[in-house]
Amino acid sequence: MVSQMRNRFLLSVAALSALVATDLRAAQTPLRPCEQYENILRTDPNNLEAAANLGRCTLRDEELVAPGGDSTRLAFRTSWTPALRALRRAVAADPSYARAYGPLFRMLFAEMRDACSGLTGQCLHVAPILWQGDSVLTPPRLVVQGAAPSDTYREAAAETRATEHASLIEARSLAERWLAIAPNDRRPHEYLGRALLLLGDSVAASNAFERAAELGRHRAAAHSSGTGSRRW
């Protein structure tokens, strides 16, 4: 993933700054889909579908804006914190609501957040994932690759790792809770395995991944024989 992103960061710093200033003005649009889901949740905090859609929308939104028109103080157009809180509420209200788990685990496991312009396709900034209690910060930085003495991607990943322990503990707990009510679903096993691996428990992680693979094979066999349910 990182290698793919790096192929898109070959412009000079001067050229990048000019592009960013142009894109930011265009990116600051009025009501956006993510805001629409937030508005629904303000009226109905227990709307599970809106929570899942907000999470997916927020993950897709990689645009930056310049608060107050100041291009020296860039910020992501959407914050991850409202989506995280909505997704947490959703799985707490209904631990079987599978649609909310995907975006929630993607955030909990994220190593960095990419900032890309929807207009130019250029990805000029990257942010670490900084956990602070039940909130998360993603401060964007202009990417400088391979330049001594640092590389922006490595720095972002290192900063994320410094604060991610609580998010990994949360991911493990969520996967275990989902697994308790859906033991034959491969997905909670996979998420549990990933959380355990990142927490350093490679033996337990291997067991979880093996169980996920076994369930995946059973599901594939059931579908190929025409006896499996279409709902998973």
Tell me how far apart the alpha carbons of residues 151 and 157 are, in angstroms, rounded to a whole number.
10
> In this structure, are residues 183 and 192 in contact, taking their beta carbons and an 8 Å threshold?
no
Considering the domain architecture, whether residues 134 and 168 belong to the same structural domain is answered as no
Residue where one domain finishes, among candidates 163, 196, 217: 163
Task: For residue 210, give the CATH number of its domain.
Answer: 1.25.40
Return the structure tokens found at 121.
């396709």
pLDDT band at 29 (very low <50, low <70, confident <90, very high): very low
pLDDT band at 140 (very low <50, low <70, confident <90, very high): very high
Closest CA to 144 of 7, 2, 10: 10
- Quick check: 155 pLDDT over 90? yes
| Residues 155-171, mean pLDDT to the nearest whole number | 96
Considering the domain architecture, whether residues 152 and 182 belong to the same structural domain is answered as no
Say what the pLDDT of residue 71 is: 75
Considering the domain architecture, whether residues 179 and 126 belong to the same structural domain is answered as no
**Per DSSP, which regions of the chain are E strands?**
64-65, 75-76, 112-116, 123-128, 130-132, 135-137, 141-142
Tell me how far apart the alpha carbons of residues 121 and 97 are, in angstroms, rounded to a whole number.
34
Alpha-helical runs (H) found in 71-151: 80-93, 101-109
- Quick check: 51 pLDDT over 90? yes
Residue where one domain finishes, among candidates 116, 147, 163: 163
Count how many domains the chain has: 2
Say what the pLDDT of residue 179 is: 97
- Quick check: 17 pLDDT over 90? no
Considering the domain architecture, whether residues 22 and 135 belong to the same structural domain is answered as yes
Say what the pLDDT of residue 223 is: 64
Express as a percent the part of the chain with pLDDT over 90. 68
Q: Taking the chain, what is the end-to-end CA distance rounded to the nearest angstrom? A: 28
User: Which residues span the domain enclosing 218?
Assistant: 164-232
Considering the domain architecture, whether residues 12 and 52 belong to the same structural domain is answered as yes
Average pLDDT, the chain: 84
